[in-house]
Amino acid sequence: MITIIFIIIISGISVYLSQSNLTPVTVHVGPYAFMDIPLFYVIIGSLLTGLVLAYVMHLIQTVFIGFSMRKKDTKIKQAKNEIAELTKQVHKLEIENEKLKNTPAGNEPDDSNAL
């Protein structure tokens, strides 16, 4: 519904511009010259050109943001893997610590063949 209202407003503005700006003008683009173009075509053309350029700049910015987010996702994934490995190592050390606590110091098995 909002889109329809927006289209109606834009159409009304376009009609107003076309009725009040019918003066023919000459447009010079580089070495080319376009003669007797109604002024409202120039106005609408410059508006559309600006919108297209803004959209292209937005797309370029979105691509660069996507690349930076991808790098950050990779770093986060590496950090999670490192955290998992360190958690495993801490768990192993806790188990080893509990074994050392529960083993009495005097009851170490004597092995005459041990190094």
pTM of this structure: 0.57
pLDDT in tens, 57-84: 999 999 999 999 999 999 999 999 999 9
Domain ranges, ordered by start, for the chain: 7-100
CA-CA distance, 66 to 40, in Å (whole number)? 39
How big is the chain by its Cα radius of gyration, in Å?
Answer: 37
Q: b vs e for 24-59, b when ≥16 Cβ sit within 10 Å of the residue's Cβ?
A: eeeeeeeeeeeeeeebbbeebeeeeeeeeeeeeeee
